[in-house]
């Protein structure tokens, strides 16, 4: 995990920075997509961004700097509510999953009485719903017309939750979790279009066997993805993973990406940072690349 959380003094030294962040970014899946400075100040003064029951933290990244803000509500109750907001330029890069893990680690570590961590979002916020699912959160509710829309009809909302006992009982090796996280980044158009980020995830000597049977080298894949990174979110299913060596993880899964279905296998070396050594894709239903 690369992100870390820094406490926000919303009513004091961080008021201007928080106001600037909330009013210069657009959050299309929040009830108020872009609040005014007056709305932010009123909310801060009312304790909505810090107080006895609310904790707010900056989401900082060692390379990218400040990438978002995290608000934890009802922190003295057994169930804590999540409000996660990333700056627009950092969305679609896998950082939401890191922020979600950091939030869960923080709340269960610092609040011993918390049993349940809940997040709600619009039903059409597909990216956030997939992030919840990938990080082990369980969908527990679907509320028809539960999310108000400014100037429009309400839409359905969904609620996901992570229990303390779920987190405590996880037996998945850390290497497998990190390999899945890295593999999912390689399915993200925002990552695929960035040669530096793709190169950092591929080992020297990396080889890919594409769906057409072509053999790709590391440099060829990096160059090809810049021109054709794909669009939209990948839908991953049929996941399997196993350790085949002290630092080697084999991932197998089915994915629908850019309108094509394939089964994929990837070999990751995690020592200490995940680097993909080998990748292969096989078309499902006759699709070829």
Distances (CA, A) of 130 to 91, 101, 127, 135: 13, 14, 5, 9
Do 78 and 195 sit in the same domain of this protein? no
Q: Strand order in 138-149's β-sheet?
A: 4-7, 54-61, 65-73, 79-86, 116-122, 152-163, 138-149
Task: For residues 135-146, give the mean pLDDT.
Answer: 91
Residue 9: inside a domain: yes
Cα 3 from Cα 268, distance rounded (Å): 22
Do 158 and 45 sit in the same domain of this protein? yes
Q: Is the pLDDT of residue 170 over 70?
A: no
Query: Percent of the chain having pLDDT more than 70?
Result: 96
Do 120 and 238 sit in the same domain of this protein? no
Do 66 and 152 sit in the same domain of this protein? yes
Domain with residue 182: its CATH number is 3.10.450.50
Strand, coil or helix: 29: coil
Instruction: Provide the CA 82 distance to its chain's centre, in angstroms.
Output: 14
Do 8 and 39 sit in the same domain of this protein? yes
| pLDDT tens track for 143-154 | 999 999 888 899
Residue 229: inside a domain: yes
Question: What was the pLDDT predicted at 70?
Answer: 97
Kindly report which listed range (1-5, 43-47, 123-127, 138-142) carries the lowest average pLDDT score.
1-5
Do 104 and 205 sit in the same domain of this protein? no
Residue 248: inside a domain: yes
User: In this structure, are strands 138-149 and 202-209 parallel, antiparallel, or unpaired?
Assistant: unpaired
Residue 289: inside a domain: no
Question: What was the pLDDT predicted at 81?
Answer: 98
Do 127 and 193 sit in the same domain of this protein? no
Do 101 and 81 sit in the same domain of this protein? yes
| pLDDT tens track for 63-73 | 899 999 999 99
Residue 28: inside a domain: yes
- Residue 288's pLDDT band, with cuts at 50, 70 and 90, is very low
Residue 153: inside a domain: yes
Pick the more confident residue, 286 or 265: 265
Hey, how many other C-beta atoms are within 10 angstroms of the C-beta on 243? Answer: 14
Do 215 and 136 sit in the same domain of this protein? no
- Phi and psi at 75, nearest 5°, equal -70, -10
Question: What was the pLDDT predicted at 259?
Answer: 80
Do 29 and 134 sit in the same domain of this protein? yes
Hey, how many other C-beta atoms are within 10 angstroms of the C-beta on 33? Answer: 12
Given 169, 190, 206, the domain boundary residue is 169
Residue 288: inside a domain: no
Q: Is the pLDDT of residue 205 over 60?
A: yes
Domain with residue 123: its CATH number is 3.40.630.30
- What is the value of pTM for the model shown? 0.61
DSSP states along 60-92: EETTTEEEEEEEEE-TTSSEEEEEEEE-GGGTT
Do 253 and 131 sit in the same domain of this protein? no
Q: Is the pLDDT of residue 171 over 50?
A: no
Do 128 and 198 sit in the same domain of this protein? no
Q: What single-letter DSSP state applies at residue 58?
A: E
Tally the domains of the chain.
2
Range of the domain at 36: 4-169
Given 140, 169, 198, the domain boundary residue is 169
Question: What was the pLDDT predicted at 195?
Answer: 94
Given 109, 143, 169, the domain boundary residue is 169
Residue 67: inside a domain: yes
| pLDDT tens track for 31-54 | 999 999 999 999 999 999 999 999
């Amino acid at each position: 995990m690369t992100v870390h959380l820094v406490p926000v003094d919303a009513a004091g030294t961080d008021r201007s920075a928080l106001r600037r962040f909330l009013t210069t970014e657009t959050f299309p899946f929040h009830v108020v997509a872009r609040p005014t400075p007056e709305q932010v100040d009123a909310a801060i003064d009312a304790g909505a961004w810090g107080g006895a029951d609310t904790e707010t933290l900056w989401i900082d990244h060692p390379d990218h700097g400040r990438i978002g803000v995290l608000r934890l509500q009802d922190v003295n109750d057994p169930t804590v509510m999540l409000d996660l907001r990333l700056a627009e330029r950092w969305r679609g890069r896998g950082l939401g999953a890191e922020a979600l893990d950091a939030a869960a680690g923080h709340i269960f570590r610092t609040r011993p009485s918390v049993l349940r961590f809940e997040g709600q979002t619009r039903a059409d916020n597909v990216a956030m719903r997939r992030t919840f699912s990938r990080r082990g959160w369980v969908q527990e509710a679907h509320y028809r017309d539960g999310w108000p829309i400014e100037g429009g009809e309400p839409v359905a909302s969904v609620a996901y939750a992570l229990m303390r006992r779920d987190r405590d009982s996880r037996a998945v090796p850390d290497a497998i979790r990190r390999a899945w996280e890295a593999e999912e980044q390689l399915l993200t158009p925002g990552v695929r279009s960035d040669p530096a980020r793709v190169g950092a995830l591929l080992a020297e000597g990396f080889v890919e066997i594409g769906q057409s049977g072509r053999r790709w080298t590391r440099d060829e894949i990096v160059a090809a993805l810049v021109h054709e990174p794909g669009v939209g979110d990948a839908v991953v299913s049929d996941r399997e993973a196993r350790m085949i060596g002290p630092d080697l993880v084999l991932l197998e899964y089915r994915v629908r990406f850019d309108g094509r279905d394939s089964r994929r296998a990837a070999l990751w070396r995690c020592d200490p940072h995940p680097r993909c050594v080998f990748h292969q894709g096989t078309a499902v239903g006759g699709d070829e690349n």
